[in-house]
Chains A and B, each alone.
Chain A
Amino acid sequence: MSKSEPALQGFLRSDGRKGIRNVVVVAYLVECAHHVSRRITSHFNDLDIHLIGFPGCYPNEYASQMMQAVCTHPNVGAVLLVSLGCESMDRDALREHVAASGRPVELLVIQERGGTRATIDQGTALVDGMRQQLAQQQPVPMALSELIVGTICGGSDGTSGITANPAVGRCFDRLVEQQVACVFEETGELIGCENIMAERAVNAELGELIQQCVAKAEHYYRTMGFGSFAPGNADGGLTTLEEKSMGAYSKSGSSPITGLIKPGDIPPTGGLYLLDVVPDGEPRFGFPNIADNAEIVELIACGCHLTLFTTGRGSVVGSAISPVIKICANPETYQRLADDMDINAGRILTGEASLDELGDEIHRAVLAVAGGERSVSEALGHQEFILTYKSFEPIGPGCLPLRPAF
């Protein structure tokens, strides 16, 4: 670690990763256990106790892997699993996976614990114990290069691609120089950018894989009947999917693209990564991501400690597990929703700040939130979490050309 590199404090996990938070997650393993889990969580009114879960009763390999990945995310210190009892999610495998990571983990099966009231009482007592246990844990020094930062845009408008997105791009360029792993995503919102993106890949093979993955996204969305384009995008001045894409793409900055990953793959080194969120195989189970938070959960499953979220129309969401920093692109939206925003990138349009200044401001916000400061959505208690059915093939060897030899 060089002297100029600002040191962070993190919570060390057994796999060597470090968390910028130390949260207890309460995870329901089917919708039928959601209410009990919510009651356990809401009993505490604690910003560091988070509710997550998977609603489906049918088995899904992707959902199981995602639950394993998010329950062992470095920001997570302890886990309470809540099962109804008859759902397909392999609760024992999940519990064993979390236990093997060295984290405190407990499993409550509602059908075996005496029903709603009894399970809420037992769960509340268990979470209270976990909280006290985590309060004893001392943070250790963490280098900036141990951080993983994701970015997403939501509620984009015609200003997003001029202000907030390129400002995040400037911040990403700087973080990549500092050996931070940065992840951008939603290949369905990069349709039209495939060729310029491929040219930025560190080698030609990766470039070709990036083109293929955007072609897959286009095929998938075509089958669904709608592109990744919401009515609010058009209200805000965006006319076509490729116009939205070009604006979204600028969040990636100008660094070479180091790798192509899928949900649950952890970037092996610093650098810029594209996250392919569109399922493999013939389209099934519906839209790749039903809303922005499903994408944020996939960024978190890739180890992202925090997410930079740009918005023009004005999204208010945050996320469970990893804080979300909200960057507002449109100065008029900022006037209306200032209390939901961390940064006003609309100042670029009003001539009050330059893109470089905004990039620096976002970079400072990353350091502050990684240093423990609450982001706005985090302080407001936003803990959205969406996980649905999907299917992926593992990434091929060409996707991570710079993977270090372990």
Chain B
Amino acid sequence: MSDASGRPHVLLLHPSDNVLICVQSLAVGQHIDIEGEPYVVAQNVAVGHKIARYDMPSGEKIRRYGAPVGSLSQPVKAGEWVHMHNLQSDYLATHTRQSVARQRSLKGE
């Protein structure tokens, strides 16, 4: 999980977590290890974002810091970027500038 200088690409924050936190940006085609298995990065991932530690089905609770932080709305493969397209809150839905604009256009404003 680390580069030539020994600096990790991704961090496991808690042993029970099923996502890894990207601490150096990942670029398509880059080779990293996930759970000891070689992995070729399939999409660019920025610092602070999450990738899946395992293959997981839709509905799976995602754990970060050892705590649940939402549920998968789509199945994911190990190494895949986990974000708003496949993870949703179990409390209040997340909004973005785009989702606010979409809501406005649905209301016909």
Given contacts A159-B47, A239-B84, contact A246 B96 (CB under 8 A): no
**Closest Cβ of chain A: how far from B24's Cβ, in Å?**
8
- Among the stretches A37-45, A51-59, A169-177, A221-229, the one at the interface with B is A221-229
What is the 8 Å Cβ interface bit string for chain B, positions 4-21, against chain A (1 contact, 0 not)? 000100010100000001
Distance of A349 Cα from B46 Cα, bound (Å): 13
Contact, CB under 8 Å: A234 / B91: no
Contact, CB under 8 Å: A162 / B47: no
CB of A231 within 8 Å of the partner chain: yes
Report the nearest A residue to B46, measured CB to CB.
Answer: A237
Contact, CB under 8 Å: B94 / A239: yes
CB of A271 within 8 Å of the partner chain: no
Contact, CB under 8 Å: A240 / B47: no
Contact, CB under 8 Å: A237 / B67: no
Distance of A215 Cα from B7 Cα, bound (Å): 41
Contact, CB under 8 Å: A239 / B92: no
Distance of A349 Cα from B22 Cα, bound (Å): 10
Contact, CB under 8 Å: B89 / A227: yes
**Closest Cβ of chain A: how far from B70's Cβ, in Å?**
4
Count chain B residues whose beta carbon lies closer than 8 angstroms to a beta carbon of A. 31
- 8 Å CB contact of B69 from A221, A231, A240: A240
What is the 8 Å Cβ interface bit string for chain A, positions 190-205, against chain B (1 contact, 0 not)? 0111001000000000
Contact, CB under 8 Å: B91 / A243: no
Distance of A157 Cα from B68 Cα, bound (Å): 17
**Which residue of A222, A241, A247, A350 has the most chain B CB atoms within 10 A of its CB atom?**
A241
Contact, CB under 8 Å: A350 / B91: no
Contact, CB under 8 Å: B96 / A234: yes
CB of A361 within 8 Å of the partner chain: no
Contact, CB under 8 Å: B48 / A239: no
Chain B facing A: main interface SS: loop
Residues of A within 8 A of B70 (CB): 239-240, 242-243
Distance of A331 Cα from B22 Cα, bound (Å): 13
Contact, CB under 8 Å: A191 / B49: no
**Which residue of A196, A218, A243 has the most chain B CB atoms within 10 A of its CB atom?**
A243
Contact, CB under 8 Å: A246 / B69: yes
Distance of A312 Cα from B7 Cα, bound (Å): 20
Residues of B within 8 A of A236 (CB): 46, 48
Residues of A within 8 A of B92 (CB): 191, 218, 221-222, 226-227, 229, 241
CB of B32 within 8 Å of the partner chain: no
Contact, CB under 8 Å: B48 / A191: no
Contact, CB under 8 Å: B83 / A242: no
Residues of A within 8 A of B95 (CB): 226-227, 229, 231
Residues of A within 8 A of B (CB): 157-159, 161-162, 191-193, 196, 218, 221-222, 226-227, 229, 231, 234, 236-243, 246-247, 250, 312, 330-332, 349-351
Contacts beyond the supplied A234-B96, A236-B48: 5 A-B pairs with Cβ under 8 Å: A158-B21, A192-B91, A239-B89, A250-B65, A350-B7
**10 A-B pairs (CB sep. < 8 Å):** A158-B47, A162-B13, A218-B92, A227-B91, A229-B95, A236-B48, A240-B89, A242-B67, A246-B65, A351-B7
